[in-house]
Amino acid sequence: MANGICVYAENYNGKIEPVTAELISAAHKIKETTNEPIQAIVAGSECEALVDQLKQSGVDEIYAVRTDRDCAFQDDALSQVVAEMLKKIDPSSVLVPATPMGRSIFSRVAVKLNCGLTADCTELLVDKREDGSYYIKQNKPSFGENVFVTIVTKEGYYPQMMTVRPGVYTPYEGAGEAEVTYFEDISLPESKIEVTSAVPAEAETDSILAAEVVVVGGRGAEEPESFALLKAFADKIGAAIGGTRPLADTGQIPFQNQIGQTGFTIRPKICISLGVSGAIQHTEGIKDTKLMVAINTDENAPIYNIADYGIAADLNEVLKAYLEL
């Protein structure tokens, strides 16, 4: 019978991606109810170094495959390795980061294993069937991110696979030595993908998730003058820029910088909200901020309910005054 909560340890250039710790945190929440072991799977040409990084990460078991070459971006080949690993492990659930790499690999894995894949989950809850077996309620935004839905994998189909948005779970900080198993009989097949070059992307999502100071613009910062002032302010204080859905819809910020239930969850030391009303869809993504400052002309705006400091004033006037200092 399928057993275990399996986490895909995404890695690049010999390093485990930080989002893995968030998935391990989600796995521990599931384990509190199901009492299943937490497993991590990893594959790469520098496999021993990757395993060493995972040993103290809070998982119970590590399953690894050594590859004869760097398999970054060769998702057709790597998905075959992952599928074979999962067949051997037989977990009840698989947690995958909702990253370009995670989506690309595990859409292929789902086909190979003839199972479902729920994309972009923002919450995972455990429930119990009449026969006593557990299943995961996979909550996610849908229909153009206008509604939230709960998806349940059909009974009898395993593993339950889901990608989880970065930022919605706090990274796990526990420890504990994991048991390591290498699958020597699994090898990386030839790939139809040839990587000719790799160019680092401009910092977007990672800068938002890792930033200690974030400036967030709302509908009140939509006007070109307001948004230009917001950018100048963020540059001056060395802050990352995020926004609510209206700014993403107008293209003023990339989707990767949208914050809230239909975007990303951030946990900066300081968050400065400019022209943000404070709808629950947005504040869910900033509720763990250590220090919140809000500027809004409406002194009754809901954003003030969670702000530590508030300025009921026109953001243009406030920012101009600051930039002139």
What are the tens digits of pLDDT across the range 112-125? 999 999 999 999 99
| Residue at 199 is within a domain | no
Is the same domain home to 125 and 272? no
Is the same domain home to 69 and 132? yes
Q: Is the pLDDT of residue 146 over 90?
A: no
Q: Residue 136's domain is classified under what CATH number?
A: 3.40.50.620
| Residue at 196 is within a domain | no
Nearest of 11, 26, 129, 24 to residue 67 by alpha carbon = 11
| Residue at 198 is within a domain | no
| Residue 202 or 16, more confident | 16
Q: What is the pLDDT of residue 5?
A: 98
Is the same domain home to 213 and 113? no
Is the same domain home to 142 and 12? yes
User: Cα(187)–Cα(168) distance, rounded to whole angstroms?
Assistant: 34
Q: Is the pLDDT of residue 188 over 60?
A: yes
Q: What is the pLDDT of residue 201?
A: 63
Q: What is the pLDDT of residue 143?
A: 72
| Residue at 188 is within a domain | no
- The last residue of one of the domains, among 182, 215, 238, is 182
Is the same domain home to 246 and 97? no
Domain tally for the chain?
Answer: 2
| Residue at 265 is within a domain | yes
Q: Is the pLDDT of residue 144 over 70?
A: no
Q: Residue 274's domain is classified under what CATH number?
A: 3.40.50.1220
Q: What is the pLDDT of residue 230?
A: 96
User: Cα(227)–Cα(220) distance, rounded to whole angstroms?
Assistant: 9
* Band of residue 137 on the pLDDT scale cut at 50, 70, 90: very high
| Residue at 298 is within a domain | yes
Is the same domain home to 93 and 18? yes
Q: Give whole-number Cα distances, 20 to 26, 35, 57, 97, in Å.
A: 10, 20, 9, 7
Is the same domain home to 219 and 161? no
What are the tens digits of pLDDT across the range 273-325? 999 999 888 888 898 899 999 999 999 999 999 999 999 999 999 999 999 98
**Structural domain span for residue 257:** 205-323
Strand residue runs (E) in the chain = 5-8, 11-12, 15-16, 38-44, 61-66, 93-97, 118-121, 123-128, 134-142, 147-151, 160-164, 179-182, 213-217, 240-243, 270-274, 291-295, 309-311
Outline where the chain has alpha helix (H).
19-34, 47-55, 75-89, 100-113, 205-210, 224-237, 245-249, 280-283, 315-323
Is the same domain home to 175 and 260? no
Least confident of 62-71, 143-152, 258-267: 143-152
Q: Is the pLDDT of residue 204 over 60?
A: no
